[in-house]
Structure 1
Amino acid sequence: MRRRSRAAYQRAAVALLAAALAAVTLAGCADSDSVHADRTQGPTLPPTTSAAPTPAPTSTLRTGTPSNPLRYAALGDSYSAGMGGGNETGPCRRSPHSFPQQLAQSKSIVLSRFPACAGATTADVLQHQIKTLDPQIDLVTITIGGNDLNVSVLPSACAKGESATCKAAVAASVALLQKLPDKLSKTYKAIAKAAPHARILVADYPLFYDLPTIDENTLGSPELSAAVAVDAAVASLDATISDAVAKQRQAGTDIHFVDVSFKGHGVNAKKPWFVLNGFDAYHPTVNGYTRYADTLSALTR
């Protein structure tokens, strides 16, 4: 479940980013290669919602046993494929250290379907991955939405601080948020239809940076402003995913939003859980995927 401190951080980060975009820290965004038609204002972020209780649907998850394990399907993008975990194979960059493979180490779970693929968007899930499901699937996990917003480019675009490239990348990701709720809704509905007896676990994306206390006295540096912008964009993505999951729960689907935190292990930490260099940069390390597996496992039984 989403911790209050994380939810409060998301709301604060989004509010700070909105203020920064409209005022000083990212005010120049509209003067660069902005993706917005209205060049007088910064990008508009969707409102985040508090973690209000939603009706709990009837659980469809049976108890897995070594003799009759849960049939598990792992859908989604590179975070589900395990890119960055090491020993990746094929164009989808699937790793034996991915969180689906780690979950399947349990004797009560067998990974029956693993179509998750690096670079996948909601459209890819609908067109290619849904077809791997069937009514016998008991458990589905998914990470999706990040590539729809191109959030993977944000850390590298903002690595040198508050630059024109950083401003444009953040603005573009925020602009794409408006279309994401409908895409997520269609994706979750399609999963529930294809695997009607499955529990669906939707994991979010961990924030990239470990930030100090954010107030009016700490927003001055370009580096911090860029970090706030990146984390706030990811927080907005996570909030959008959470809201979409809540709507499906209200409709009676056995679907759960799972908040995965890398707090203390961001890209700027002493022991980051993100790959920092190379082709797999800004994807979780083995330790990061272990955090995913540990967090998700509580809802698999």
Structure 2
Amino acid sequence: MRRRPIRFLSAALPLLAAVGLLSSPAHAATPSYDSATQYVAMGDSFSAGVGAPGSELDCGRSPQGFPTLWAQAHGITAFADVTCGGAVTDDVLAEQISALSAETDVVSITIGGNDAAWGEQVLTCMQSGDSACSGAVDKAVAGLSAITAKVETTYAAIRQAAPNAKVYVLGYPLLFEETSTCSAWIVPNQHQRKQLNRFGRALNQSIADSATRAGFQFVDAQPFFAGHAVCSRQSWIHPVLNLTALHPNADGYRHGYLAAFTSATD
């Protein structure tokens, strides 16, 4: 797969140069996954493990991302990791679907955040003030129907390519704590953090609804990240003042995403 930029906050690169920045529903039967399981991890930087140590240069895949950790925990050797930082739905269709087959047992995916340009909303909030922030979030929420169509086209392609697989769609953590005080140096203010989390909730709800319509299982990662977003005392998400801004760190992938995925699969 060709190298792609980490687009979740790709619009932040000029700012970086200037200031140094950038529940899952219950299911009837619990699957049993072991060394014979064929597992394919798909999606964007939140599946690739961007922000965890050991990330590759091309797509940002890290051995400390949740897909590798989950595969190792189950002794799975038939594991294909085709995730890529910066991926949008078109990238999944063009470059990741080919990893699937009728023999695939398990698929995991995070997708939609880059399509929705979540990172650009963060920059608008930080650079243009509260009114512009609220307006940008209102526009993004209203535009989710277009993102939904892309996501559902992607889900349909996954089902066609892997007709026998159990597909787990993981949501995104909320990026910020909404408390009035924050010890981090450069962050959106309280109003802006609430607005950005409002979009995060709307995006996750849209993804969850699409997953349900596709017959996939949505895994809500947010409860596992609760109390550990940016501005918390023990954040599992990198702050804005970081080259992997607003992505989970190693603790976020292990104690947030892996724990969420494990709760849905084991």
Give the TM bin, normalised by the shorter chain. 0.7 to 0.9
CA deviation after TM superposition for structure 1 residue 65, in Å: 3.2
CA deviation after TM superposition for structure 1 residue 184, in Å: 1.4
Q: TM-score, normalised by structure 2?
A: 0.79
Corresponding residue for 2:263? 298
Whether the aligned pair in 1 keeps the contact of 2:236 and 2:248 (CA below 8 Å) is yes
Whether the aligned pair in 2 keeps the contact of 1:155 and 1:208 (CA below 8 Å) is no
Q: Which amino acid aligns with 1:239?
A: Q
**Could you report, residue by residue, the CA deviation over 1:60-117 in whole angstroms, capped at 9, with x for unpaired residues?**
x863334x2x111000000011100122112211111101111011234335211111
What are structure 1's unaligned runs of at least 5 residues? Answer: 1-50, 214-221, 250-254
Corresponding residue for 1:78? 45
Task: Quickly say closer, same or farther: Cα 1:154–1:110, change in 2 above 3 A.
Answer: farther
Mapped pair 1:282 → 2:246: yes
CA deviation after TM superposition for structure 1 residue 283, in Å: 0.3
Task: Measure, in 2, the Cα distance between the counterparts of 1:209 and 1:184.
Answer: 25
Give the share of equivalent positions with the same residue, in percent. Answer: 33
Task: Quickly say closer, same or farther: Cα 1:164–1:199, change in 2 above 3 A.
Answer: same
Whether the aligned pair in 2 keeps the contact of 1:148 and 1:176 (CA below 8 Å) is no
Q: Find the residue that maps to 1:72 and give its secondary structure.
A: strand
Mapped pair 1:122 → 2:89: yes
Q: Find the residue that maps to 1:85 and give its secondary structure.
A: coil
Q: Find the residue that maps to 1:113 and give its secondary structure.
A: strand
What are structure 2's unaligned runs of at least 5 residues? Answer: 1-22, 181-187
Corresponding residue for 1:65? 34
Task: Measure, in 1, the Cα distance between the counterparts of 2:195 and 2:150.
Answer: 24
Equivalent residue pairs, number: 232
Task: Measure, in 1, the Cα distance between the counterparts of 2:198 and 2:247.
Answer: 18
Q: Find the residue that maps to 1:63 and give its secondary structure.
A: coil
CA deviation after TM superposition for structure 1 residue 176, in Å: 2.9
CA deviation after TM superposition for structure 1 residue 292, in Å: 0.5
Question: Equivalent of 2:198, from 227, 232, 252?
Answer: 232
Q: Find the residue that maps to 1:73 and give its secondary structure.
A: strand
**Could you report, residue by residue, the CA deviation over 1:182-239 in whole angstroms, capped at 9, with x for unpaired residues?**
11111111111111111100000111122259xxxxxxxx922211110001110001
Mapped pair 1:269 → 2:235: no
Corresponding residue for 2:151? 184
Mapped pair 1:196 → 2:163: yes
Task: Quickly say closer, same or farther: Cα 1:204–1:107, change in 2 above 3 A.
Answer: closer
Question: Equivalent of 2:63, from 96, 105, 114?
Answer: 96
Mapped pair 1:244 → 2:210: yes
Question: Equivalent of 1:146, from 100, 113, 127?
Answer: 113
Corresponding residue for 1:132? 99
Please state which structure has a larger fraction of its residues in helix: 2
Task: Measure, in 2, the Cα distance between the counterparts of 1:256 and 1:109.
Answer: 21
Task: Measure, in 2, the Cα distance between the counterparts of 1:97 and 1:119.
Answer: 18
**Could you report, residue by residue, the CA deviation over 1:26-51 in whole angstroms, capped at 9, with x for unpaired residues?**
xxxxxxxxxxxxxxxxxxxxxxxxx9
Larger radius of gyration: 1
Whether the aligned pair in 1 keeps the contact of 2:174 and 2:200 (CA below 8 Å) is yes
Whether the aligned pair in 2 keeps the contact of 1:86 and 1:286 (CA below 8 Å) is yes
Whether the aligned pair in 2 keeps the contact of 1:135 and 1:195 (CA below 8 Å) is yes
Task: Measure, in 2, the Cα distance between the counterparts of 1:82 and 1:267.
Answer: 17
Whether the aligned pair in 1 keeps the contact of 2:38 and 2:106 (CA below 8 Å) is yes
Counterpart mapping for 1:210-229 below 5 A: 210-212=177-179, 223-229=189-195
Task: Quickly say closer, same or farther: Cα 1:279–1:111, change in 2 above 3 A.
Answer: farther
Q: Which amino acid aligns with 2:71?
A: A
Task: Measure, in 1, the Cα distance between the counterparts of 2:43 and 2:234.
Answer: 27
RMSD: 2.5
Q: Which amino acid aligns with 1:63?
A: S
Q: Which amino acid aligns with 2:259?
A: D
Task: Measure, in 2, the Cα distance between the counterparts of 1:192 and 1:235.
Answer: 26
CA deviation after TM superposition for structure 1 residue 164, in Å: 6.2
Greater displacement, 159-168 / 142-151: 159-168
